[in-house]
Structure formats: C-alpha cells, structure tokens
Amino acid sequence: MTENSTVLVVEDDVSLMQGIRDILEIKGYKVLTADSGLAGINVMETSQAQPDLIVSDIMMPFMNGYEFFNEVRKEPRWMKIPFIFLTAKGEKADIRVGKALGAEDYITKPFEPDDLLVVVAARLKRSREIETMQTQEVGSVKRGILTILNHEFRTPLTYIVAYADMLNREPDELTYEEMKAFLGGINTGADRLRRLIENFMLLVELQTGEAQNTFSWRKCKFNNYDEILRQTVEYLQPVAEEKGVMLQVRYSYGALPSIIGDAEYLRTALIRLVDNGIKFSDKPNSCVYVSADARDGQLCFDVQDEGRGIPADKQKEIFEMFYQVNRQIYEDQGSGSGLAVVDRIAKMHDGGVSLESEVEVGSRFTLYVPLAR
Ligand code: ADP
C-alpha cells in the first residue's frame, strides 16, 4: 500500500535517520528530516507540507525530544499531529516520561523496519479517523442548527419586530397597559432568541470537544450544591412568576458528600431542567421542586414538576438534539436543544440524566454525577 502522508523524522544519529527515511520512502511516505528538536521546529516552520506525524529521538543536542514535543504541542496548528518517541532499549523511564507528556506511541531501538511501519500506519489511521469523526460531528450539528434556524429564529424575531412596530407607530395614543403588553412581547421574543443562541453555542462547544477542554482545567472537588440551586432559582424566579408556577427548593446546608465537577456547567444544566419544568406546567398553582441529594454513590439533582408529562415512548428521544414531543401540536416549545445540552453536560461529568414521567401528572428529571472517592 502506498502512503502519501508526510512524516517528520527527528534523529541526531545520521545513519539511523537515513535508515528510517529509506524505510518510510519505500512505502511511499513523504519524509522530512531534522537532526535536533530545534532543527525540527525550523523544518516545520519553513516546509510547505506540514507533517501528518512526527517520529522523534529523545536524547539530542540543542533541543531534546521532550522539549521538542512541548514546543510542538504549544502551537495550535501543530497540536493534533501524532507524536512517536524513539526510546533506547532498557530505558523504561523514557517511555514513562513520554507517556506522561501525552505522546501517542513509542518505538524501542533497535527495531525492525516492520515495527516502525506498523506503528506509523496505525497512528496515522487513528488520527485520520478522529479527524473524520470530528468533521462529521461538526457537520451534523451545523445541519441541525440550520434546519432549526429557519423556524426558530424567525418566530421570536417576528414577535420583536411586530411589537416594536406597534410601539413605534402611535406611541402617544397607547395606554400604559398596551405599552406594557407590547414591551412584554418584545421581551419574550428577545428572551427566546437569547436562549436559543446560548444553547446552540453550548451544543457546538460540547459536540466538538471544546467544552471538554474547559471542563478539564476548571473541574474541582466541591459540595456547595446549595449555591447552584440558589443561583438557578434566582435566575428563573421571574419566569416562574410570570407563568404562575411556584419554585420550591430544598437546600442541603453543606451536608452532602463532594463530587468532582464544574459548578458553572452544572448550573447551566439545572437551569435548562427547571426552565422546562416551568415551561411545561400548564395547571394553575403548579409547583416545581428542586433539590440535591446523595443516592447510590451519586449526587442527584432532582427537578420535579406537575406539568403535562412525557409519554413513555418519547422519553428516550427527548434527549436527542432538536427533538420535541408533538411539535405539530404544541406551539410553545423551543428548539429541542435544552435537554441535549443537559445530557452532554452530565456525560462530561461521567454521569447522566434519568427521567420518570407520567402524562398529565408530571415529570421528574434527575441529573446524577458520581461522588468523589
Ligand atoms: P425545548 O424545550 O427547547 O423544546 P428540550 O430539549 O429542553 O427543548 O426539550 C425537548 C422536548 O422534551 C420538549 O420540546 C418537550 O416536548 C419535552 N420536555 C422537556 N422537559 C419537559 C417537561 N418537564 N415536561 C414535559 N415535557 C418536557
């Protein structure tokens, strides 16, 4: 099989470097070479073709393999290039350090040509698979967003434009009540748009792995769930009042075990759940109950409503992106992106979302996250 990928070989032992180059070139790889990390950086900066993979020795003058690796990973355009270390036989520490740094693989010297070729081909294949998967994921999020954009952005915008138009036309002749109603309409439309945009941005972040990066440096051990509950309820109180729904919170006063997570993402998820609880409560004097609890090794955020409920055969689908129950019947819905956000935030925390619901009785959504050990 011929390969047209480009491999950068960094090795100060010139005869070994030439040997590796020959093995790879016979198989059809394009090969760039350098005799130190510094020279490797120079080649990457000046060469027209960027390498698809780097094979680098560790002990080298000027800039050793580890330093070279760090320089490569610092640069965003090179960050995804798979990196293979050449380690000396018996140097277990080299392998450990290389792994700890995050290199994709290593080859122990001396090696047979086939050992090298197998590792190079496997790493290139894996990196192409990841690339294809990411492109497809971004593509499907984009398509979903574009489909929904047409309807979901137009409706609230029509609201805003129509009410603003009425306000503009004869402002002197409007009563105070009319003025208030029109401004309320503008507010509703603007709010719906804002939520839509927030959800779309979040979904793209969650789908492309960007959120995972943020999560990995922001996550920490904590048990201050009351703060998340308080902020959620504070944020949604006006929405609940407008709808005539009571928000009931049960605080834990610091008595619950810790989790490892990110309070901001969890609050974002909880807001979506409570918001839905309010939105889908149609009976007068309905309540939405919000609490945090520890059960079966999990920290559970429970959101229970007395709303319209969800038919059993729809309970799985609602977590899919852009899915809504009976979109044709209900006009009050959003974009079907809220629960997809909640689900992905829960999974990022190694947790999940469960649901118990009965039509016309209500629903209980539970966002659970494993307790820290
Ligand atoms: P959105 O609310 O923007 O449509 P979601 O992803 O938050 O999107 O919810 C998807 C669908 O699941 C909703 O359209 C609704 O049909 C259903 N749903 C979500 N939460 C509830 C709830 N608490 N009670 C009843 N139905 C719900």
Distance 113 CA to ligand 1 centre (A): 57
The pLDDT, as a whole number, for residue 345 is 96
The pLDDT, as a whole number, for residue 33 is 94
Please identify, by atom number, the ligand 1 atom nearest to the C-alpha of residue 365.
Answer: 23
Which tops the pLDDT comparison, 231 or 204?
231
Question: Using a 6 Å cutoff on CB, does residue 268 contact ligand 1?
Answer: no
Q: Where along the chain do its domains lie? A: 2-111, 132-212, 219-373
The pLDDT, as a whole number, for residue 329 is 53
d(CA 270, CA 175): 39
Question: Using a 6 Å cutoff on CB, does residue 335 contact ligand 1?
Answer: yes
CATH number of 219-373: 3.30.565.10
Structure-token match 């990390």, residue found: 37
Q: What is the mean pLDDT of residues 138-147?
A: 75
The pLDDT, as a whole number, for residue 91 is 73
The pLDDT, as a whole number, for residue 1 is 42
Q: What mean pLDDT value characterizes the chain? A: 88
From residue 41, alpha-carbon distances to 33, 48, 61, 97 in Å are 11, 13, 14, 21
Helix, strand, coil tally for the chain in percent (to 5): 55, 20, 25
The pLDDT, as a whole number, for residue 351 is 97
Least-confidence region, from 10-24, 150-164, 307-321, 327-341: 327-341
Residue 344 pLDDT > 70: yes
CATH code 3.10.580.10 for 2-111: no
Instruction: List pLDDT tens digits, range 173-217.
Output: 888 898 888 898 898 888 888 888 888 888 888 877 889 888 998
List the structure tokens of 306: 């007395």
Residue 2 pLDDT > 50: no
The pLDDT, as a whole number, for residue 335 is 66
Pocket test of ligand 1: the residue of 145, 151, 280 to mutate, having most ligand atoms within 8 Å of its CB, is: 280
The pLDDT, as a whole number, for residue 325 is 58
State the sign of the Cα–Cα–Cα–Cα dihedral 110, 112, 118, 120: positive
Topology (CATH) of 132-212: Helix Hairpins (1.10.287)
Rounded to 5 degrees, what angle do the CA atoms 202, 208, 275 make? 20
Rounded to 5 degrees, what angle do the CA atoms 355, 361, 367 make? 20
Percent of the chain clearing pLDDT 90 (strictly above)? 48
Closest to 17 measured CA to CA, from 56, 64, 69, 62:
56
Distance 319 CA to ligand 1 centre (A): 9
Distance 324 CA to ligand 1 centre (A): 6
Distance 160 CA to ligand 1 centre (A): 24
The pLDDT, as a whole number, for residue 303 is 98
List the structure tokens of 346: 């829960």
From residue 238, alpha-carbon distances to 37, 116, 264, 285, 339 in Å are 59, 64, 21, 15, 21
The pLDDT, as a whole number, for residue 40 is 93
CB 317 within 8 A of CB 323: yes
Instruction: List pLDDT tens digits, range 274-302.
Output: 999 999 999 889 999 999 999 999 999 99
Please identify, by atom number, the ligand 1 atom nearest to the C-alpha of residue 323.
Answer: 10
The pLDDT, as a whole number, for residue 208 is 78
Distance 339 CA to ligand 1 centre (A): 7
Question: Using a 6 Å cutoff on CB, does residue 144 contact ligand 1?
Answer: no
Instruction: List pLDDT tens digits, range 23-37.
Output: 999 999 999 999 999
Least-confidence region, from 64-73, 148-157, 235-244: 148-157
Instruction: List pLDDT tens digits, range 74-122.
Output: 887 888 899 999 888 667 777 777 777 778 888 888 888 898 999 999 9
Distance 84 CA to ligand 1 centre (A): 47
Residue 322 pLDDT > 70: no
d(CA 190, CA 161): 10
List the structure tokens of 169: 């036309």
Q: What is the mean pLDDT of residues 248-256?
A: 92
Question: Using a 6 Å cutoff on CB, does residue 307 contact ligand 1?
Answer: yes
Instruction: List pLDDT tens digits, range 154-184.
Output: 778 888 898 898 888 877 888 889 888 889 8
From residue 229, alpha-carbon distances to 108, 190, 193, 248 in Å are 53, 25, 25, 10
Output the residue whose Cα is nearest ligand 1's atom 13: 324
